[in-house]
């Protein structure tokens, strides 16, 4: 059972009781008469081997209020794309598949590059960006919702709660981010628990009062991959092309949406998906790569606000982060103890010490290339560069789907 505490800069919608899913979906069915919803699923072939995707598809079969299901297929060759088409054809909503590495889509990316639009490398960020453009091109939706394809604990209830704050006409938020507990016999979510939240607190200590940092600190699970938003925001926000996707999107939402229209919602009693490895030997893989990209995203955002970031600042931040992280780890140990959970203090401390390397690496990379722009431009700029881009995008998707 959740609490009902409201804190921070954004509204929080709690899971105060288990509501009947049929009743919730009936309200969404009525709401979507005026505010149709498109669901985006960023998919890579390896997810077909996991527990999450078959469960997600089975649950989605019974969801009747979605206007579109858009599957963005990344990292796929021709045979893997055909396999994805066969798999998702089981859905009665007749999902639309975008082959993000297909020949027609590749030609479109080349055209964009020739017109000064860099769409970055294949990945979740580009898949999400292409999907938003495709939904804008279809012109039949008012709400976009996105979640990952590896959620092993997925239920229709998660999707309905994620859609509700933006789709319901009497509530009408512009952006809603999901949050949840990630606990089995131990606590998970190390990057959020041990790194990102302590890092944000350290930035607040080092830089002083800042609304953006307070806003980030208001999210209960800042790296959650699930959110819904008004389709008009999809025209305005730029999309990061690296592991800084979640934090970068929140930065873009902060720039383009009033705080009173931003919320978060408790999606489930528990949440389970695949766990990224913490590879201490290689900072370019797993959670350390994720941590470095997230940190660079934060540094770029703070620099854009006029903060001067120097080597001396990064040294101070590193020390402040490690102290705060160690304090958090102590709290997690006591929380685990009172709840009868397993907790490895040495493993947690070692992870925090490893994450210090992310701050060092991100700081060096930021100072070496301070003008780096890793964001994919927003769709308003793309339309300005290539006025018929939406027609070309629809044609490319259709061409890549031909047998």
How does pLDDT run across 316-375, given as a tens digit for each residue? 999 999 999 999 999 999 999 999 999 999 999 999 999 999 999 999 999 998 777 679
**How far is residue 350's CA from residue 397's CA, in Å, rounded to a whole number?**
46
Closest CA to 345 of 354, 355, 336: 336
Superfamily of chain region 11-400: Spore Coat Polysaccharide Biosynthesis Protein SpsA; Chain A (3.90.550.10)
Residue 272's pLDDT is 78
Residue 280's pLDDT is 62
CA dihedral 290, 110, 381, 95 (to 10 degrees): -70
Q: What is the pLDDT of residues 183-211, one digit of tens each?
A: 999 999 999 999 999 999 999 999 998 99
Of all residues in the chain, the percent with pLDDT exceeding 70 is 96
**How far is residue 162's CA from residue 171's CA, in Å, rounded to a whole number?**
13
Q: What is the pLDDT of residues 84-104, one digit of tens each?
A: 999 999 999 999 999 999 999
Q: Where residue 71 falls among pLDDT bands split at 50, 70, 90?
A: very high
Give whole-number Cα distances, 265 to 35, 59, 185, in Å. 19, 20, 24
Residue 278's pLDDT is 67
Using the structure block, give the residue that is written with the tokens 């859905």.
91
pLDDT for residue 275 is more than 60 = no
Residue 277's pLDDT is 61
Closest CA to 68 of 23, 134, 22, 127: 134
Cα 266 vs. chain centroid, distance in angstroms? 15
Q: What is the pTM for the complete model shown?
A: 0.95
Residue 185 · residue 341 · CB < 8 Å: yes
CA dihedral 326, 329, 335, 337 (to 10 degrees): -110
Domain extents in the chain: 11-400
Please, how many CA atoms are within 13 Å of residue 174, restricted to the half-sphere of its CB? 19
Q: What is the pLDDT of residues 291-318, one digit of tens each?
A: 999 999 999 999 999 999 999 999 999 9
């Amino acid at each position: 059972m959740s609490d009902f505490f409201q804190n921070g800069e954004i509204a929080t919608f709690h899971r105060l009781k288990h509501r009947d899913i049929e009743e919730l979906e009936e309200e969404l069915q009525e709401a979507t008469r005026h505010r149709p919803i498109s669901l985006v699923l960023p998919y890579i072939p390896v997810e077909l081997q996991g527990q999450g995707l078959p469960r997600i598809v089975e649950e989605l079969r019974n969801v009747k209020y979605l206007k579109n299901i858009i599957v963005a297929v990344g990292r796929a060759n021709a045979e893997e794309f055909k396999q994805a088409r066969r798999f998702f054809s089981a859905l009665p909503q007749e999902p639309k598949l975008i082959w993000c590495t297909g020949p027609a889509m590749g030609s479109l990316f080349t055209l964009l590059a020739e017109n000064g639009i860099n769409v970055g490398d294949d990945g979740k960020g580009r898949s999400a960006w292409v999907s938003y453009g495709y939904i804008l091109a279809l012109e039949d939706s008012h709400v976009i919702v996105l979640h990952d394809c590896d959620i092993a604990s997925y239920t229709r209830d998660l999707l309905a709660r994620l859609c509700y704050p933006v789709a319901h006409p009497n509530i009408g938020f512009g952006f809603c981010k999901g949050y949840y507990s990630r606990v089995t016999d131990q606590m998970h979510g190390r990057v959020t628990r041990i790194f990102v939240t302590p890092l944000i607190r350290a930035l607040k200590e080092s830089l002083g009062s800042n609304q953006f940092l307070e806003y980030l600190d208001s999210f209960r699970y800042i790296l959650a991959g699930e959110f819904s938003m008004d389709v008009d925001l999809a025209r305005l926000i730029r999309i990061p092309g690296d592991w800084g996707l979640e934090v970068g999107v929140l930065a873009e939402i902060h720039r383009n949406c009033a705080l009173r229209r931003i919320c978060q919602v408790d999606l489930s009693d528990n949440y389970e998906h695949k766990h990224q490895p913490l590879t201490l030997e290689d900072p370019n893989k797993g959670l350390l790569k994720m941590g470095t990209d997230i940190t660079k995203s934060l540094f770029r955002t703070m620099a854009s606000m006029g903060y001067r970031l120097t080597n001396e600042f990064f040294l101070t931040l590193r020390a402040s982060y490690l102290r705060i992280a160690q304090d958090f780890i102590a709290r997690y140990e006591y929380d685990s103890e009172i709840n009868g959970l397993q907790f490895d203090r040495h493993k947690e401390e070692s992870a925090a010490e490893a994450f210090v390397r992310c701050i060092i690496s991100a700081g060096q990379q930021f100072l070496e290339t301070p003008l780096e722009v890793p964001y994919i431009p927003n769709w308003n700029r793309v339309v300005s560069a290539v006025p018929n881009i939406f027609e070309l995008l629809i044609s490319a998707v259709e061409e890549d789907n031909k047998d």
